[in-house]
C-alpha cells in the first residue's frame, strides 16, 4: 500500500466489477425499504423537510442531507422512506469509492472483495436504510481519499478539481466534514507539495482547492443561516449543540471516565461490525510499522483519514455507532493487506470474500432478543438491533424508553446480574 506517483491504469473489467458492487449495494438496501427505524434524531429530520425557521437537525445543520431527501418527499414518498432512499444511494456511492480507492493500492480482485466486505459490514448496511446522516461519512471520506490520492499521483487541474469538489460538496451534506474530511484533502496537497515545493503551479493548485472548498462552505453556512433566521441564531444553535456534546466527553466527565465511556462504546461497535477483520487488521498495521519509512506517505494519509473522527469519538462524544465509519474502511484495507502478506493475493481474495459472507449472514440472521430483562434490552440496543431483523421488526426503542440507566457501571452490572425492565415503552 505504498503511495505511488504513477497514475492508475483502467481496465474494462474494473467497470463491470464496479457496476456489480453498486448494484449489490442498491438491491441489498432496497430490500429493507420501507423500514420503520428512524433513529434518535428522526423527528427533527422529518420536520427539517419543511425548510422553515424550526429547522433543527443535528448541528451544524446537515442541510445537504435534508435537501437530498426533499425531492423524494415531493414525489410522494413518506419522510422515512425518502431518507432511506438517500441512505441507499449514499451506501452505493461509499461502496464504489471504497473499491476505487482500494484498487489504487491493492490488486483489482482483492480490492473488489475488500469493498464487498466493507459494504456488507453490519453497521454500514444498517445505516444505509435508517434515517440518520452518518452514512454520509461512509460515502464522503473514501471519495476524498480516492480523488486526493489521484491528485498526489498526477497533480493536474482535473485531479485537483475532483479532489476539492469531493471535499467541498461533502461538507454541504454534513458540515462537520470540514473537520473530518478537510485534513485528508490537506494531507494530499501536502504530499504533492513535497514534490513540487512552492512552485507557482502548486501555489495555484492550493489556492484553487481552498477557493472551491470555501465556496461550498459558504453555501451550507449561509443557506442554513437563512432558513433558521440569521447568522447569529445559527451560531447560537451551534454553540448550544457543542455544549451538549461536551457534557458527555473528557471535558466534563474527566479523563478516565470520559475515555472509558467513549472508548468502550467505540470498541463495542467496532467489534460488532468488524470482528473477524480486526485480528488481520492488527497484523496489517504491524506489517506497516516494520516498514515505517517506506510507507511514510501511507501513514500520513491514514492519520489524516482517521485521526479527527477518533479524537471526536474518544475525547468529545461517542454518541452513535456511525462514528466508526471514517476509520472502518481502513480496518478492512489493513486486513486485506495482512491477508495478502501472510498468504498470497489470490488467497487473500478468498479470505476477504469469506468476511463478506460472514457479514452478510450476521446482518440477515441476527435475532432480536425477547425483552425479558435489562440485559436483553441492552444487547438489542448495543448489538442485535443493528441487523436486518432490527429493521424488519422496526426496533426503534432507546434505553430511556425502558427507564434503563445507560451508564457504564450499570451496563456492566446488568450483563452479570440482569434486573427486570424498569418499565415498558409507551406504544
What is the pLDDT, as a whole number, of residue 242?
75
Q: Looking at residues 327-354, what average pLDDT do you find?
A: 94
Q: Looking at residues 47-63, what average pLDDT do you find?
A: 89
Q: Tell me if 2 sits within 8 A of 299, measured CB to CB.
A: no
Q: Looking at residues 61-81, what average pLDDT do you find?
A: 94
Q: How far apart are CA 113 and CA 348, in angstroms?
A: 9
Return the C-alpha cell found at 4. Answer: 505511488
Confidence of residue 71 (pLDDT cuts 50, 70, 90): very high
Confidence of residue 296 (pLDDT cuts 50, 70, 90): confident
Confidence of residue 5 (pLDDT cuts 50, 70, 90): very low
Closest to 107 (Cα-Cα) out of 281, 327, 347, 276: 347
What is the pLDDT, as a whole number, of residue 79?
92
How many CB atoms sit inside 10 A of residue 191's CB? 22
- Comparing 275 with 296, the larger pLDDT belongs to 275
Answer left, alpha or beta for residue 268, where phi above 0 means left and psi between -120 and 50 means alpha.
alpha
What is the pLDDT, as a whole number, of residue 288?
73
Report CA 407 to chain centroid distance, whole Å: 25
What is the pLDDT, as a whole number, of residue 400?
84
Q: Tell me if 136 sits within 8 A of 88, measured CB to CB.
A: no
Percent of the chain exceeding pLDDT 90 equals: 64
Contacts of 281 (CB under 8 A, 6+ apart): 274, 331, 332, 334, 335, 338
Q: Looking at residues 314-337, what average pLDDT do you find?
A: 91
What is the pLDDT, as a whole number, of residue 413?
93
**C-alpha pair distances (Å), 320 with each of 40, 84, 270, 271:** 10, 18, 12, 14
- Comparing 258 with 164, the larger pLDDT belongs to 164
Q: Tell me if 233 sits within 8 A of 61, measured CB to CB.
A: no
The H-assigned helical ranges of 34-134 are: 42-48, 63-74, 79-105, 108-120, 122-127
* Residue entry with cell 429530520: 45
Q: Looking at residues 222-238, what average pLDDT do you find?
A: 93
Amino acid at each position: 500500500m505504498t503511495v505511488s506517483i504513477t497514475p492508475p491504469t483502467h481496465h474494462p473489467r474494473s467497470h463491470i466489477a464496479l457496476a456489480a458492487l453498486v448494484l449489490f449495494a442498491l438491491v441489498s438496501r432496497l430490500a429493507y425499504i420501507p423500514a420503520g427505524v428512524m433513529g434518535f434524531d428522526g423527528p427533527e429530520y422529518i420536520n427539517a423537510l419543511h425548510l422553515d425557521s424550526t429547522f433543527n437537525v443535528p448541528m451544524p445543520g446537515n442541510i445537504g442531507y435534508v435537501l437530498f431527501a426533499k425531492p423524494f418527499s415531493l414525489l410522494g414518498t413518506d419522510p422515512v422512506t425518502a431518507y432511506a432512499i438517500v441512505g441507499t444511494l449514499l451506501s452505493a456511492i461509499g461502496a464504489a469509492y471504497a473499491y476505487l480507492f482500494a484498487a489504487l493500492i491493492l490488486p483489482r480482485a482483492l480490492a473488489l472483495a475488500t469493498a464487498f466486505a466493507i459494504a456488507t459490514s453490519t453497521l454500514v448496511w444498517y445505516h444505509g436504510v435508517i434515517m440518520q446522516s452518518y452514512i454520509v461519512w461512509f460515502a464522503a471520506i473514501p471519495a476524498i481519499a480516492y480523488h486526493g490520492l489521484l491528485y498526489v499521483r498526477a497533480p493536474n487541474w482535473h485531479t485537483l478539481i475532483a479532489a476539492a469538489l469531493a471535499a467541498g460538496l461533502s461538507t454541504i451534506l454534513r458540515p462537520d466534514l470540514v473537520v473530518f474530511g478537510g485534513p485528508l484533502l490537506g494531507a494530499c496537497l501536502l504530499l504533492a507539495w513535497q514534490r513540487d515545493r512552492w512552485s507557482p503551479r502548486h501555489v495555484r493548485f492550493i489556492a484553487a482547492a481552498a477557493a472551491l472548498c470555501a465556496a461550498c462552505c459558504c453555501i451550507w453556512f449561509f443557506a442554513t443561516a437563512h432558513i433558521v433566521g440569521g447568522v447569529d441564531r445559527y451560531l447560537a444553535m451551534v454553540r448550544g449543540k457543542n455544549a451538549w456534546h461536551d457534557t458527555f466527553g473528557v471535558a466534563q466527565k474527566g479523563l478516565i471516565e470520559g475515555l472509558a465511556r467513549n472508548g468502550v462504546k467505540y470498541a463495542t461497535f467496532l467489534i460488532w461490525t468488524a470482528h473477524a477483520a480486526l485480528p488481520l487488521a492488527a497484523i496489517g498495521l504491524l506489517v506497516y510499522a516494520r516498514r515505517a519509512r517506506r510507507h511514510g506517505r501511507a501513514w500520513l494519509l491514514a492519520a489524516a483519514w482517521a485521526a479527527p473522527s477518533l479524537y471526536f469519538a474518544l475525547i468529545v462524544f461517542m454518541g452513535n455507532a456511525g462514528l466508526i465509519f471514517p476509520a472502518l474502511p481502513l480496518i478492512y484495507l489493513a486486513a486485506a493487506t495482512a491477508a495478502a502478506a501472510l498468504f498470497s493475493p489470490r488467497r487473500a481474495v478468498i479470505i476477504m470474500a469469506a468476511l463478506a459472507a460472514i457479514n452478510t449472514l450476521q446482518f440477515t440472521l441476527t435475532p432480536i432478543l425477547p425483552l425479558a430483562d435489562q440485559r436483553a434490552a441492552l444487547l438489542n440496543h448495543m448489538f442485535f438491533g443493528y441487523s436486518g431483523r432490527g429493521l424488519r421488526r422496526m426496533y426503534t426503542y432507546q434505553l430511556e424508553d425502558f427507564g434503563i440507566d445507560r451508564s457504564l457501571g450499570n451496563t456492566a452490572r446488568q450483563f452479570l446480574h440482569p434486573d427486570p425492565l424498569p418499565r415498558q415503552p409507551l406504544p
